[in-house]
Amino acid sequence: MSRFSVPGPAGVTPEAGIMRGKTAISFRLPAAAAFAFLIGLGAPLPSTGDGGQSGSDAFVSSARAQSGIRNLISRLRREKLPASIAKTNGRIEATQVDVSSKYAGRLAEVMVEEGSSVTQGQVIARVFSPEYEAQLRAAQADVQRAKDALIAAEAEIVARQSALEFAKSDYQRGQELMKTGTITKQAFEQRKRNFDAADAAVKSFTSQRDQAKSSIKNSEAEVERIESIIQDLTLTSPRSGRVQYQLARAGEVVAAGAPIVTILDLTDVYMTIFLPAAVASRLEIGGEARIVLDAVPDYVIPAAVSFVAADAQFTPKTVETKDERAKLMFRVKLKLDPQVLRKFYTKVKTGLRGMGFVRTDPSTPWPHDLQIKLPADKAPKPGRAKTAAPEAEAPGSKSRDAE
């Protein structure tokens, strides 16, 4: 708090003036209001530079003073809100995604750095693992070995089937000769044994052929599994956004599941606020909201209520009385309009503080100070050409010029 005193006659201190019955006025103002009061009067500010600087450096410009007062008045106006509009402090956040490797290995290269914009599917980094490369070569050799075994089994089946046909015909002739007594019983039994052996050989090589086919499928499945692992060693971005953190560098050995970069999805930005139960219980999912950031208080950003927590965040140990239930605070998300985010994509920042405004009664109109106001809505001053550059949009969206 800043204190201002207006003394009585010269040379008489405020305390002495009071003691002697003189008039002395003493009052207190918030520090921000006192500062605004000073710059509004054009009071000089302390100089931190060299004494040789021009006198204009010692004063706040008239435009800046007017802007500060305008912002202060605007905030003071927002103090008086309808009963169905609630406000509270909050912070801008965005959906955060960690890009990690499913498998351990050495980080061969990282294609992005902190602050880089990425698109969905863009290659982020590559992990090199010679162990999986060796396993892939071994699995491919197993596939070739199984195919060779299949070829050999099929060739044997052809040869054994030919022998089986001969043994079968020889056995059938022996049956006819046995009836006439032309051959002995011993010769007939030998023909029968030859036929049975040829039939068993065909069945054996047929089984080997089926086994070779199964081995081929298993080996090919192993090849596909290892190839998928090697493919997963090339890390791609799951979303379009901006790299917030680079947590590993090329040449480092990373563990399975260890994050390498953190990406912010700047098309999914929201403000997290906390509201009492009496207010949170009356909110509608999808209801309109407004956000005013401390960094740019002149603008009112549209948002919508996207989430209301089912459980209280600050819950007393016991909630037996009405006063204790009133202390319950619920987490609420105010999601920014995606169209606004795409239009001002390169200007979106997280971590900014500000005020969130919600309506418990949708029929209540927004006050004039909470009507949507964005940079694109500012008209150029008369007599001056508009020089604003086109706003950059989110990756993957169609580019468009600023109006």
Total residue count of the chain as it appears in this document: 403
Residue 73 near residue 345 (C-beta atoms within 8 A): no
User: Smallest Cα–Cα separation from 357: which of 286, 273, 294, 284?
Assistant: 273
The answer for residues whose C-beta is within 8 angstroms of residue 12's C-beta and 6 or more apart is 20, 22
pLDDT the model gives residue 322:
55
| Residue bearing the bigger pLDDT, 396 or 177 | 177
What mean pLDDT do residues 384-388 have? Answer: 39
Which of 21-25, 99-103, 178-182, 256-260 shows the lowest per-residue confidence on average (mean pLDDT)? 21-25
The span from the CA of 260 to the CA of 101, in Å, is 8
The answer for residues whose C-beta is within 8 angstroms of residue 219's C-beta and 6 or more apart is 139, 140, 142, 143, 145, 146
Q: Using the 8-state DSSP alphabet, how is residue 300 labeled?
A: B
Q: How far is CA 244 from CA 121, 181, 263, 349, in A?
A: 17, 98, 5, 11
pLDDT the model gives residue 228:
92
pLDDT the model gives residue 392:
45
At residue 27 the predicted structure's pLDDT band, cuts being 50, 70 and 90, is very low
pLDDT the model gives residue 325:
58
At residue 291 the predicted structure's pLDDT band, cuts being 50, 70 and 90, is very high
The span from the CA of 200 to the CA of 163, in Å, is 11
Query: Which residue ranges form the domains of the chain, and what is each CATH number?
Result: 1-46+59-80 (no CATH), 84-96+266-377 (2.40.30.170), 97-127+234-254 (2.40.50.100), 131-232 (1.20.120)
pLDDT the model gives residue 137:
93
List helix spans (H) across 233-276: none
What mean pLDDT do residues 386-394 have? Answer: 43
**CB burial of residue 197 (10 Å; 0-12, 13-18, 19+):** middle
State yes or no: pLDDT of 150 exceeds 70: yes
Q: Is the pTM of this model over 0.75?
A: no
State yes or no: pLDDT of 337 exceeds 70: yes
What mean pLDDT do residues 200-228 have? Answer: 89
* Percent of the residues in the chain that have a pLDDT greater than 90, as a whole number: 30
| Residue bearing the bigger pLDDT, 128 or 14 | 128
State yes or no: pLDDT of 6 exceeds 60: no
pLDDT the model gives residue 64:
56
> Tens digits of per-residue pLDDT, 245-277?
999 999 999 999 999 999 999 889 999 998 988
User: Smallest Cα–Cα separation from 111: which of 273, 234, 283?
Assistant: 234
> Tens digits of per-residue pLDDT, 78-101?
457 788 899 889 999 999 999 999
State yes or no: pLDDT of 39 exceeds 50: no
At residue 303 the predicted structure's pLDDT band, cuts being 50, 70 and 90, is very high
State yes or no: pLDDT of 373 exceeds 60: yes
State yes or no: pLDDT of 32 exceeds 50: no
Q: How far is CA 109 from CA 113, 157, 245, 354, in A?
A: 11, 53, 16, 39
pLDDT the model gives residue 19:
38
- How many Å is the maximal CA-CA distance in the chain? 160
User: Smallest Cα–Cα separation from 331: which of 272, 393, 281, 263?
Assistant: 272
Per DSSP, what are the bridge partners of residue 128?
106
Residue 296 near residue 347 (C-beta atoms within 8 A): no
State yes or no: pLDDT of 222 exceeds 90: yes
What mean pLDDT do residues 132-152 have? Answer: 91
Residue 146 near residue 219 (C-beta atoms within 8 A): yes
pLDDT the model gives residue 54:
45
User: Smallest Cα–Cα separation from 99: which of 209, 210, 226, 247?
Assistant: 247
| Residue bearing the bigger pLDDT, 269 or 390 | 269
